[in-house]
Amino acid sequence: MKKLSAFLWIIIVASSCNSGSSDETKEDAYSGATKTDVIHYEGEKHLTNIRQLTFGGDNAEAYWSFDDNQLVFQVTNEEWGASCDQIYITNWEQSNMKERPAQLVSTGYGRTTCSYFLPGDSSILYASTHLADTNCPTKPEKRADGKYVWPIYPSFDIFVADVGGIIIDTLTNEEGYDAEATVSPIGDKIVFTSMRTGDLELFTMDIDGGNVKQITNELGYDGGAFFSPDGKKLIFRSSRPKTEEEVKVYKDLLDEGLVMPTEMELYMCDVDGSNLKQLTDLGKANWCPFFLPGGDKVIFASNHESERGFPFNLYTIDTLGNHLERVTFDKVFDAFPVFSNNGKYLVFSSNRNNGGTHETNLFVAEWRD
């Protein structure tokens, strides 16, 4: 599930309790306008008792343990010794990450992404490039054509580590990109994105890495998939080129190990890939979808109402593609919404209350229907 904090900053260059605020207004680093930092914006009726968990760096893709006591997430924060994304865990209700770092559970080498707890909460999976190089992989340079791109590092493979950080298994060993793995709530399967067929497709496998099955097979980037609460369906994002020119651009970039994620819509299918349907047709970037606890709605991030590429805010839509509702009202960026297994809490990443900096932090809110 690629991190989009960097995505937001480049788009901007190219193109938060109650509804109260702090007394100090600060200059917005993006628009140049003055703003007042808040932790809860007016109109966010579904979010109550919002709590900020992190206070600096880039913090994203937080996912719950099966017992909802812990969060595993990825961090870039020089103060924590993470010069590019590494994986950390925390007991979120007891944490004080303003004063001390969370617990590092990745190796500290290479770049990591897309961590998730496995059943039993004694181990996690995540993707990492550390076998190919212990250094952070090189980021793509700014392109002369102005296109914003994501790197699809071929050195990403999926590993299992215990909560002490010791790698205990390697789930993929195919050539090319294997990442974006998440686990079914019923604990039987993993879904992930892979380049093993020459395109970015979804695959499932059993918890032990066996019984790999291809789920999608149409040209385009299928990624960031999550299971429904009953484990029977998948929701994911896709940038599927349709015109001859779009296909050429997609294939040319893919040959360079790149994708351009500025046009993405949400798709659903059964866990075996059948009954595929497009859920949104909003335009721009619609991504990081996650099922609501009842399984009849999806929450996701989108910039479809934006004129300058931002802000990104959270929205819900039902699984028939109807009743679109805006959930957050941030001025810059809200994304990566994930419900706790008991359905009580929502964790998400946001630029709210960051003093006009580039920092993206984790927030937990109680959900109100």
Residue corresponding to tokens 């990450």:
97
Q: Which two tokens stand for residue 303?
A: 């910039």
Q: How many residues are present in the chain?
A: 369
State the pLDDT at residue 206. Answer: 98
pLDDT of res. 165: 97
3-state helix, strand, coil in the chain (%, to 5): 5, 40, 50
* Number of continuous H segments (helices) and E segments (strands) in the chain: 2, 28
**What is the rounded distance in angstroms from the CA atom of residue 58 to the CA atom of residue 48?**
24
Q: Provide the token pair at 218.
A: 């149409």
Q: How far apart are CA 236 and CA 223, in angstroms?
A: 6
Walk along the chain (369 residues) and give the pLDDT tens digit of each residue: 444 444 443 333 333 223 233 333 343 333 333 344 689 999 999 999 999 999 999 999 999 999 999 999 999 999 999 999 999 999 999 999 999 999 999 999 999 999 999 999 999 999 999 999 999 999 988 888 888 899 999 999 999 999 999 999 999 999 999 999 999 999 999 999 999 999 999 999 999 999 999 999 999 999 999 999 999 999 999 999 999 999 999 999 999 999 999 999 999 999 999 999 999 999 999 999 999 999 999 999 999 999 888 899 999 999 999 999 999 999 999 999 999 999 999 999 999 999 889 999 999 999 999
- Domains in the chain, number: 1
Backbone angles phi, psi at 340, to 5 degrees: -65, 160
What's the CATH code of the domain at 40?
2.120.10.30
Domain extent at residue 281: 5-367
Paired tokens of 51: 């709590």
Which neighbouring-strand residues pair with 27?
34
Whole-model pTM: value is 0.90
Provide the 3-class DSSP secondary structure of residue 74: strand
Predicted pLDDT of residue 310: 86
